[in-house]
Structure 1
Amino acid sequence: MAEIEKSDQEWQEILSPLAYKVTRKHGTERAFSHDNFSKEAGYFACVCCGAPLFSQEDKFDSGTGWPSFTQPMAGAPIGESIDNSWFSTRTEVHCTACAAHLGHVFPDGPAPTGLRYCMNGVALKFHSEDAD
C-alpha cells in the first residue's frame, strides 16, 4: 500500500489534467511531448509526492520520445508490476510512496544495466542540483 493516499478529487486539485490521467489513471503522454528537460545536474522526482526517483546522470536519449534512464536512484521508492494492457506484457513502473504510474521498464537499454526506464515526462519534476 502507498504511504501517501489522496482521493481522486484531491489528486485532480494538485495535478494538471494530463499528469492526473497518466499518474492516477495509468495513461501515457504522446511521444516527444516533453523536450523541456534540463541537461544540468540534478534529479527527477515524482510529480505527485516529490520523492526523488532518477538522477540526471542516468538519463539517456533512447530515441523513443520519452525520458529514459538506465536505473533509479539508490533507495528510490520504485515498484514494478506486470501490465497486460495493449495486447502485450510489459513491466509497469510506479512510485511506491504514492502509487503513481510513471512508465515502463524494458530490457533493451545501454550499459551498465541493460535496462531502459521509459518514463512519462509529465510524471516527473526536475530539481536542479544548484537549487536544492
Structure 2
Amino acid sequence: MASNTDQKTDDEWRAILSPEQASFRARFFRILRQKGTERASTGEYDKHFDEGVYSCAACATPLYKSTTKFDSGCGWPAFFDAIPGAVTRHTDSSWGMERIEIVCTACGGHLGHVFKGEKFDTPTDERHCVNSVSLKFKDGDGVEKSG
C-alpha cells in the first residue's frame, strides 16, 4: 500500500479544504481531518446510485466504484469493497469498542468505518460505511457531480 504522500498540517488543510461557506468547511474539516461523523441520512450520497467513481473529497484520489455501492439502510453511503490500495484500515478504539477505521491512503483523510459479518448479500460480507462529506462523485464519463 502507498504511504500518505500528501501530508499537510491542520492549518494547511483548513486553508485549502472546500472554498464553500464556512459551516460546510468546518464540517468537512471535522470529519476528514478530525475523524468526525456526519449525522445519519444527511449526506448527499446515501441514496445516490449513479454509475461512476467516488473519490476522496480532500485529494481527489479514486476510492470506490459505483459497482461496489449498495443500499444498506444505515444512513450513510455503503460499499462492499474499495479500489485496491486506495483505502487504508486502522484499529479504532475511541468509543470503548474496537472498530476498523478507513482512511484515504493518499492523504490520510478519514472516510468512516468497515463493519464485517452483517450478512449483506455482497461478495465480501463487509460494509464500508463512508461519510458523504469525505467523497466527491464523478459520473461514468468523468464529470464531477454534486448530489
Task: Compute the TM-score of the two structures, normalised by the length of structure 1.
Answer: 0.91
Query: Is contact 2:49-2:69 (8 Å) kept?
Result: no
Partner of residue 130, structure 1: 141
> Where does 1:35-50 land on structure 2 (aligned, <5 Å)?
35-36=44-45, 38-50=48-60
Unaligned runs of 5+ in 2: 18-24
Residue 39 (structure 1) shift: 2.5
Q: CA RMSD in A?
A: 1.5
Task: Compute the TM-score of the two structures, normalised by the length of structure 2.
Answer: 0.83
Q: 2:8 aligns with which of 6, 9, 15?
A: 6
Partner of residue 116, structure 1: 127
Equivalent pairs counted in the alignment come to: 131
Letter in 2 for 1:69: F
CA distance in 2, matches of 1:70, 1:110: 10
Deviations, residues 54-83 of structure 1 (Å, cap 9, x unaligned): 01111111111000001002x342110100
Cα pair distance change 1:39/1:111, threshold 3 Å:
closer
CA distance in 2, matches of 1:30, 1:6: 27
Unaligned runs of 5+ in 1: none
After TM superposition, the runs of 4+ consecutive aligned structure 1 residues lying more than 4 A away are none
Residue 42 (structure 1) shift: 0.4
Partner of residue 80, structure 2: 70
> Where does 1:51-66 land on structure 2 (aligned, <5 Å)?
51-66=61-76
Identical-pair percentage: 39
Letter in 2 for 1:54: Y
Aligned-partner SS, 1:25: coil
